[in-house]
Amino acid sequence: MSGSQSLFFNGTVLTMDDDRPVASAVVIDGERILAVGDEEDMRALLQPDAGEVNLQGRTMIPAFIDPHGHFPDPGFIELFRVDLAPPPRGDCIDMNTALERLADRVAVTPKGEWVMGVLFDNTAIAENRMPTRAELDRVSTEHPIWVIHASGHNGVANTRVLDMLGITSETPDPAGGRFGRDPKSGELTGLIEGLSAMGNMGDTDFLIDRERFWLGFRACRDEYLSQGVTYAQNAWATREMLEHFNSLPDGEDPGIDVMLLPIGELEPGLSAGPEALEWQGNRYFSLGPRKLFTDGAFQLQTAYLSEPYFKPADPDAPHGMTYTDRKELFVQVRKLHRMGFQIHCHCNGDAGTDNLLDAIEAALEEFPRSDHRHTVIHGQVLRDDQLERMARLGVTVSFFTAHIHYWGDRHYDTFLGPERAEGISPTASAERHGVHFTIHNDASVTPTRPIHLMQCAVNRRTASGRLLGEKERIPIHSALKAHTIEAAWQVFQEHERGSITPGKIADFAVLSTNPTSHSEAFENCVVLQTIRRGECVFAKSC
């Protein structure tokens, strides 16, 4: 590219703009889209020194937008943590493999320094359980060892960690969390469950200092750009994480744009008063909705359901559990809604969603707002009556459709049973009820892979190949919109991003095939090039 203008031509442009869905050429001027249309008309607008990009018959779409994730946690995992992911994501198939990998890291880690294992999934390894404190103690008692579950909702600590935290068998369980205990002796097993119990060990920035933050940031940025994602999200931003982002030197371009969702409980202190965050603000990082939780994760059977789990792991809690007391949830929702914030709330189970919708409806009755766009995050088992209510209340949803591939078989066999499993991530039902929806990977729970994520929503195939919920399949174009213009709309960015429309930021992804042409093209589709703010930032093939 040369000059401030560039022409993209000789390709198919899927704009995600309903006023002009398809074009053959685009002109950009600097960071912005100048015009969209036919090549002849676009060439008539060019300055003499304009550059040209020949798409060579390929397809260009708006760059993908991450509707829910935890950037830059994938970079932290790559550089600083022990990857214990099982198939289909990784190759940690049993407990011995996990313990050996932890031991390998212990061998090269100075005594007293932390060793952290991540992405462990008890439902996908041979033993079907979490490690024990005793097993981690055999790896080392001279290093604090912490193994966190793939969902991020529980973990296991060795004795060194429990001692450091002052947790004993006499320590009471906190509200919304619990410490694992041997049913006979009452001794601690090392299991720590729930955000309230894990504390900062459940945060994505745990053990991350400023230097490690920027190293992880760059590693994660490069991964996202290679997948066509130019707008990332950190959906559980602690104050420390906000300070890390706030350290970007004035005028420096970090190479990717990020929306940050501060923890809802930080308000109002985060925004007002003597302890308010001095957010410097820049063109690349912005503060978005505030984040809340209602429940846990399906893999741990802590997602809160209105009907019991198909095969309950805990007979004393067959419906799962709430992470936030209903009364407290009402207080938090009322507070944030009254302050004018948008709310994104983690709700895996339908009972958790009921609590949130009740709280939103109460807040709206007291403080009416016509366009709040409060959002259910995950919404795995939304019922039709809930979708009808969401449409009435103006509530949106971001579905974790990657669950269909990674955990769909376990939903079918264990978590929900055949009938309810058919309805996980009910995108077609949301579309039918007129509820705005997006789809996400929840990185680092599953890797940021937009095309695979869309395939999950369109094809609904589990890791074993089972078709799970044919009635909830959506067209490819709907999946594309869910990861582009709908993702922009969901966080009030539709005037800046999400479609190839004059005036918007010039963020594009060039694909190897037109995914809307036929199913085989979609299955073999890859990102060849990523354009961010008018500049090529990733090129697999130009």
Confidence band of 267 (pLDDT split at 50, 70, 90): very high
Strands 5-9 and 25-29: antiparallel
- Structure-token pair, residue 26: 């685009």
CA distance 508 to 229: 9
112/45 same-domain check = no
Backbone angles phi and psi of 47, in degrees to 5: -75, 160
pLDDT at 1: 44
16/119 same-domain check = no
177/293 same-domain check = no
Residue 251 pLDDT greater than 60, yes or no: yes
User: Is the model more confident about 273 or about 361?
Assistant: 361
Exposure b/e, 281-294, CB count within 10 A at least 16 = b: ebebbbbbbbbbbb
- The pLDDT > 90 percentage for the chain reads 93
Tens digit of each residue's pLDDT (9 = 90 or more) over 484-504: 999 999 999 999 999 999 999
- Structure-token pair, residue 511: 């694909």
CA distance 109 to 209: 17
Tens digit of each residue's pLDDT (9 = 90 or more) over 442-480: 999 999 999 999 999 999 999 999 999 999 999 999 999
Residue 211 pLDDT greater than 80, yes or no: yes
428/383 same-domain check = yes
276/315 same-domain check = yes
Residue 241 pLDDT greater than 50, yes or no: yes
Q: In what order do the strands lie in the sheet with 508-511?
A: 22-23, 12-14, 59-62, 508-511, 527-532, 535-539
Cis peptide before 110 (omega within 30 of 0): no
Number of H helices, E strands in the chain: 19, 25
103/140 same-domain check = yes
Instruction: Decide: helix, strand or coil at residue 53.
Output: strand
Place of tokens 């059977």: 301
216 domain-assigned? no
Cβ atoms of residues 264 and 336 within 8 Å? yes
- Structure-token pair, residue 372: 């709040």
CATH number reported for the structural domain that contains residue 300 in this entry: 3.20.20.140
Contacts of 233 (CB under 8 A, 6+ apart): 66, 67, 68, 69, 70, 71, 258, 259, 260, 261, 288, 491
244 domain-assigned? no
- Structure-token pair, residue 111: 């005594």
Residue 541 pLDDT greater than 60, yes or no: no
- The DSSP element (H or E) to which 510 belongs, if any, is strand 508-511
Question: What's the whole-model pTM score?
Answer: 0.94
349/437 same-domain check = yes
- The DSSP element (H or E) to which 479 belongs, if any, is helix 476-482
Residue 61 pLDDT greater than 60, yes or no: yes
Nearest residue to 145 (alpha-carbon basis) of 193, 109, 119, 174? 109
Residue 3 pLDDT greater than 60, yes or no: no
461 domain-assigned? yes
Amino acid at 120: F
Amino acid at 466: R
Tens digit of each residue's pLDDT (9 = 90 or more) over 277-321: 999 879 999 999 999 999 999 999 999 999 999 999 989 999 999
**CA diameter of the chain:** 81
Averaged pLDDT of the chain: 96
236 domain-assigned? no
CA distance 284 to 176: 35
CA distance 38 to 36: 7
- DSSP one-letter code for 416: S
- The DSSP element (H or E) to which 35 belongs, if any, is strand 32-37
353 domain-assigned? yes
Instruction: Decide: helix, strand or coil at residue 76.
Output: helix
327/276 same-domain check = yes
341/426 same-domain check = yes
311/372 same-domain check = yes
- DSSP one-letter code for 284: S
CA distance 429 to 427: 5
Residue 2 pLDDT greater than 90, yes or no: no
pLDDT at 275: 87
Instruction: Decide: helix, strand or coil at residue 294.
Output: coil
Segments forming the whole domain that contains residue 95: 86-149+154-193
350/477 same-domain check = yes
Tens digit of each residue's pLDDT (9 = 90 or more) over 112-139: 999 999 999 999 999 999 999 999 999 9
77 domain-assigned? no
Tens digit of each residue's pLDDT (9 = 90 or more) over 328-387: 999 999 999 999 999 999 999 999 999 999 999 999 999 999 999 999 999 999 999 999
Residue 176 pLDDT greater than 50, yes or no: yes
Across the range 234-247, mean pLDDT stands at: 96
Residue 98 pLDDT greater than 60, yes or no: yes
101 domain-assigned? yes
383/300 same-domain check = yes
CA distance 25 to 358: 48
CATH number reported for the structural domain that contains residue 10 in this entry: 2.30.40.10
- Give the number of domains in the chain: 3
198 domain-assigned? no
